[in-house]
Structure 1
């Protein structure tokens, strides 16, 4: 796998943004066994905490800074599968998550691309990666269509790329999905339902499951990597006996309606935000920009 920038970035960079949305998953995982499926849909394992740097003023005064190590609730990698030309969409997503309060968890957001073959995109994506440090470019991935093997390339590459410092969980998300910072709870137990598919808008797998996908050649031989990716991931897990304890959060994760006016209480994710009007409706409803004063710098003075 190739990466446009290094795997670790300064604490001020975008990939260190934390989403309060997923904080309760750490609490859920503490009570569950190693192989669990949650539908944001995910497979959870008990988190392995890593120290993070917390720069705070010791006495509240300017210039008084101390560095203390604290343990995050858990470490999560969110891979947003996107295409090279969607610069504006990535900008909107950066705004959406930068405006969310940071929890005690460490959540790193990366935009996942295949090989960037267009000459203009190659230049612009390189500049974007240098500026934001949140672009991940996959090797062995010939198409940006996630149903043609991109999802498998992502899930199977992450354990190798981040082996020196593994995450607790790995998330796959669409670039037309808005993840919200809402308390989740345990979700809804699926019980004996085999749940043959994941929810394509977003799902989480534990690090051990991602490692299993990466190392399991039977996935390619028996189930393939091309087709509806959410169904394929569910098929892999079922065939391999993974994700025995399953939880479904889909009532709180849904597609936006035509009139953009039926948002649900305790929303976790809104999907199919295909244009700026839909993103604006979501921002407006969930008060994403509340408290932000409009700039007057560009207004002419009389």
Structure 2
């Protein structure tokens, strides 16, 4: 049988005592609560005021949290500059997809990708490129007239200390927009490379025959320079006064004449041109190989599709009733 807290027969003094006791209990809880809002909360004693060892405290001490990749300083930082032209919207859209879907060890490398133009002169380009910047913030516009071999690469490389001198990169890669770059292979390949006086790419000439006036140099499909070489390019008289010519050949010529870039790494056969069905094999153009880092001269969409298919790039596509891709 439930017994009421008080009944009609309870005396006034008894009722008063009960109400006073309830009020006193409420006052005590309010006084000890750390919450000034008046909500009753129960404060946990700290280890200094208690002999109790809380389970979560001991677990945290024995198994500290693993830092997330974003909080770990990478072994090196790479700026990847894709030299392109404003009207290549479709190509940039595809490249952004390709780069964003790749994985690599971000505790080893931080890779920042930028698309590089000269000054915009077309009114449509000004609007559309502004949209890209608002959406992706990954574009560099140089103070030059759009060109291929009339100083654009010099303008790009020489401007970088002014852009990033407060947080310099370890490496800078200049790449063409028709190059497929496999980021995890690139990261592993660069991991053990020196951070100074370093020049990395497909060295030309790559066999005994030489048809070039200023050998050797790294082919323009994609080459990597250490930051000290970038600083030298930005301050030396030679690059500033002599930069009109085949951009990759001239870059190598600067280093050859100045005695720079002593640490050179020829990445043949892992850097190469797309061969296709009708081209002859040579030292810079051959069939796909599994250990590729960079495949160049992907001018047409079917060449990109052929390349991505070989490397099984879309293997992560999950089945769905919304589409049927065979």
Partner of 1:142: 145
How far residue 146 of structure 1 moved from its aligned partner, in angstroms, is 2.5
| Counterpart-to-counterpart distance in 2, 1:294 and 1:227 | 50
| Counterpart-to-counterpart distance in 1, 2:263 and 2:202 | 8
- Check whether the contact 2:202–2:271 (CA below 8 A) recurs between aligned residues: no
SS in 1 for 2:175: strand
- Check whether the contact 2:80–2:174 (CA below 8 A) recurs between aligned residues: yes
Partner of 1:208: 228
Partner of 1:275: 300
* CA shift in 2, pair 1:240/1:281, >3 Å: same
Partner of 1:255: 273
Partner of 1:93: 95
Higher RCO structure (Cα 8 Å, ≥6 apart): 1
Q: Does 1:108 align with 2:112?
A: yes
Partner of 2:24: none
How far residue 241 of structure 1 moved from its aligned partner, in angstroms, is 1.2
- Say which one has the larger Rg: 2
Q: Does 1:125 align with 2:95?
A: no
* CA shift in 2, pair 1:202/1:66, >3 Å: closer
* CA shift in 2, pair 1:66/1:213, >3 Å: closer
- Check whether the contact 2:202–2:267 (CA below 8 A) recurs between aligned residues: no
Partner of 1:236: 254
The residue correspondences of 1:57-68 to structure 2 (distance < 5 A) are none
| Counterpart-to-counterpart distance in 2, 1:199 and 1:121 | 29
- Check whether the contact 2:74–2:110 (CA below 8 A) recurs between aligned residues: yes
- Check whether the contact 2:76–2:170 (CA below 8 A) recurs between aligned residues: yes
User: C-alpha offsets along residues 239-288 of structure 1, whole Å, 9 cap, x if unaligned?
Assistant: 11111121100211111112299212311110000011111111111111
Number of aligned positions between the proteins: 232
The residue correspondences of 1:10-89 to structure 2 (distance < 5 A) are 69-89=71-91
The residue correspondences of 1:148-159 to structure 2 (distance < 5 A) are 148-159=150-161
Unmatched segments (≥5 aa) in structure 2:
1-59, 194-199, 207-213, 279-285
- Check whether the contact 1:256–1:273 (CA below 8 A) recurs between aligned residues: yes
**Aligned alpha-carbon RMSD (Å):** 2.9
TM-score by length of 1: 0.70
| Counterpart-to-counterpart distance in 2, 1:89 and 1:188 | 23
Q: Does 1:218 align with 2:243?
A: no
Higher helix share: 2
| Counterpart-to-counterpart distance in 2, 1:195 and 1:94 | 34
- Check whether the contact 1:81–1:146 (CA below 8 A) recurs between aligned residues: no
Moved segments of 4+, more than 2 Å: 64-69, 181-190, 193-196, 218-221, 258-262, 293-299
Q: Which deviates the most, 256-265 or 237-246?
A: 256-265
How far residue 189 of structure 1 moved from its aligned partner, in angstroms, is 12
SS in 2 for 1:281: helix
| Counterpart-to-counterpart distance in 2, 1:81 and 1:189 | 17
SS in 2 for 1:148: coil
* CA shift in 2, pair 1:93/1:189, >3 Å: closer
| Counterpart-to-counterpart distance in 1, 2:293 and 2:113 | 17
How far residue 297 of structure 1 moved from its aligned partner, in angstroms, is 4.3
| Counterpart-to-counterpart distance in 1, 2:225 and 2:320 | 41
Higher strand share: 1
- Check whether the contact 1:156–1:214 (CA below 8 A) recurs between aligned residues: yes
Q: Does 1:284 align with 2:309?
A: yes
- Check whether the contact 1:177–1:270 (CA below 8 A) recurs between aligned residues: yes
